[in-house]
Amino acid sequence: MTDAHQEEVLGRIAKGLVYTESEAAFLAPRRRAEQIFEYNRTPPGQEDRRRSLLVEILGSVGERTVLLPPFHAGFGSNVHIGDDFFGNVNLTFVDDVDIHIGDGVMIAPSVTLTTTGHPVHPSRRADFGRFSEPIVIEDKVWIGSNVVVLPGVRVGYGSVIGAGSVVSRTIPPMTVALGAPCRVVRPITDEDLTTRGAL
């Protein structure tokens, strides 16, 4: 594939347009499959080794980051995580394009963040036709167990996503949202400082 063709494909990806597996094959060297495999088999006591592998795998990673194995990623190199992050087991990043996670974010078990979807018409899915849009999780967000965040979503500062939700649209800051599809059910207010808080 020529440089010009690669640029054309990258341009389509950046615009959220359909592209195929063959067209995107030149991006394969950015995949960190071997390092992810090793990370997921590193003994719990080898925190320094886990940290060094995480630095190799991710596009960027902040301080005091905890990512419990196993985790999974299509690339790994398109994931950017801030400080004081906690990711529980079975976190999946479908990171064909960037996933940006802010500071102080907590993610519960078995969450999927997928930047990529596929066209509805089967003829457009030939050669694994797909489209990709970045995901942004802002600072201090809490995402409950078994949540799926879909392409192009932004979850606003401080928000809580209830367990089992399917997030297909942007969630504003300081709100509680849940359901499939995920919808805002209430704001987060100062009253939540004095209670456990109810979803």
Residues known to be catalytic: 118
At a CB cut-off of 8 Å and minimum separation 6, what does 130 contact?
18, 19, 20, 21, 96, 116, 117, 118, 119
The Cα 61–Cα 171 span in angstroms is 24
Task: Please state, in angstroms and rounded to a whole number, the distance separating the CA atoms of residues 107 and 128.
Answer: 29
**d(C-alpha 54, C-alpha 130), whole Å:** 27
Sorted by sequence, the CB contacts under 8 Å of residue 112 that are 6+ apart come out as 91, 92, 94, 147, 148, 149
